[in-house]
Amino acid sequence: MAEVLVFHHGHGLTVGVREFAEQLRRAGHTVHVSDLFEGQVFDSLEEGIGYAEDAGFGTVIARGTTAAEGLPAELVYLGFSLGVLPAQKLAQTRPGAKGGLLLEACVPVAEFGGAWPHDVAVQVHGMDADPFFAGEGDVDAARALVETAADAELFLYPDGRHLFTDSSLPPYDEQAAAQVSHRVLDFLDRIK
């Protein structure tokens, strides 16, 4: 089974993120969940992003890197939205990484020093009309990643919700989230 390090989105470490991690555990995977916001959970995405901006996105990424210290090198890194920043950085740059699961965000690979590693599999999931994912260039970065990486998949879901995979938030889309979970579990079973 795979070993996974999960990074939450801009609301913080919500019940929905914990439930997603627990779903992976029930499937037999070893899952670690990082708290990038030091215990704070925000009611609105704007508040959470404001917190991240005040702390500095570099600090948020550094907290993610610190969370990986002491864990095996052979991890799959999973990030939800804002959590994609440390997940993608570690999947791209930490030796031994097995995979990256980028949910509802993706940044250009040049952001973390160049090409995606040949031996690291990646999946990107997002909604095709999400104002953040589709409207801010993440989907373009995801398409470029899929074109250049050896083992990469992009899954687009029809709608405009952001954070549709978090069962504890209003944008949750049960059907789309179930598809994401199924595809993520298939990915993890393949990675081992």
Task: Give the per-residue pLDDT at 113.
Answer: 87
Nearest-10 crossing angle of helices 174-191, 15-26: 40
Residue ranges of E strands in 35-131: 76-80, 99-103, 121-127
- Specify whether domain 3-191 bears CATH 3.30.420.240: no
What element of type H or E holds 155? strand 152-157
Rg over alpha carbons for the chain, rounded to the nearest Å, is 15
Task: Give the per-residue pLDDT at 77.
Answer: 98
Task: Give the per-residue pLDDT at 85.
Answer: 98
| pLDDT tens over the chain, length 192 residues | 999 999 999 999 999 999 999 999 999 999 999 999 999 999 999 999 999 999 999 999 999 999 999 999 999 999 999 999 999 999 999 999 999 999 999 999 999 988 999 999 999 999 999 999 999 999 999 999 999 999 999 999 999 999 999 999 999 999 999 999 999 999 999 987
Strands in 76-80's sheet, in edge-to-edge order, are 30-34, 3-7, 76-80, 99-103, 121-127, 152-157
Rounded to whole angstroms, the Cα distance separating 20 from 4 reads 12
Model-level pTM greater than 0.85?
A: yes
